């Protein structure tokens, strides 16, 4: 959240307030939802989970997998299988 606020030249508290006012979600939830949507799009475009993770700034692909599972209730591999009907 600090990084997002910094890119917008806002304090983290002000950024959080603005996001909450505009979306109804706290900034952390909103950012995680955004990252998961980007991850889904990347995987559907044919990128590997590792490529998607590194492209989104994760140090290790496992960190993306853990966040993805916590947010969606399934692993990235499970998501791809469900989308592709396997």
What is the C-alpha separation between 22 and 18, in angstroms, rounded? 6
Do residues 12 and 20 lie in contact, with contact meaning Cβ atoms separated by under 8 Å? Answer: no
* Higher pLDDT pick, 6 / 43: 43
Q: What is the pLDDT of residues 22-73, one digit of tens each?
A: 999 999 999 999 999 999 999 999 999 999 999 999 999 999 999 999 999 9
Give the domain ranges of the chain: 2-84
- 2-84 sits in which CATH class? mainly alpha
What backbone phi and psi angles, to 5 degrees, belong to 48?
-75, 165
* Higher pLDDT pick, 59 / 86: 59
* pTM of the entire predicted model: 0.84
DSSP state at residue 60: S
Cα angle, residue 46 at apex, residues 3 and 52 outer, rounded to 5°: 20
Q: Is the pLDDT of residue 86 over 90?
A: no
- pLDDT category, 1, cuts 50, 70, 90? confident
Predicted confidence at residue 84, as pLDDT, reads 87
Q: Is the pLDDT of residue 3 over 90?
A: no
DSSP state at residue 59: S
């Amino acid at each position: 959240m600090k990084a997002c606020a910094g890119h917008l030249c806002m304090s983290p508290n002000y950024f959080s307030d603005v996001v909450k006012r505009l979306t109804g979600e706290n900034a952390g939830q909103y950012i995680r939802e955004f990252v998961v949507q980007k991850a889904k799009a990347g995987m559907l475009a044919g990128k590997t989970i590792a490529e998607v993770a590194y492209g989104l700034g994760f140090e290790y692909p496992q960190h993306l997998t853990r966040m993805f599972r916590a947010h969606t209730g399934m692993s990235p591999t499970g998501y791809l299988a469900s989308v592709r009907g396997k």
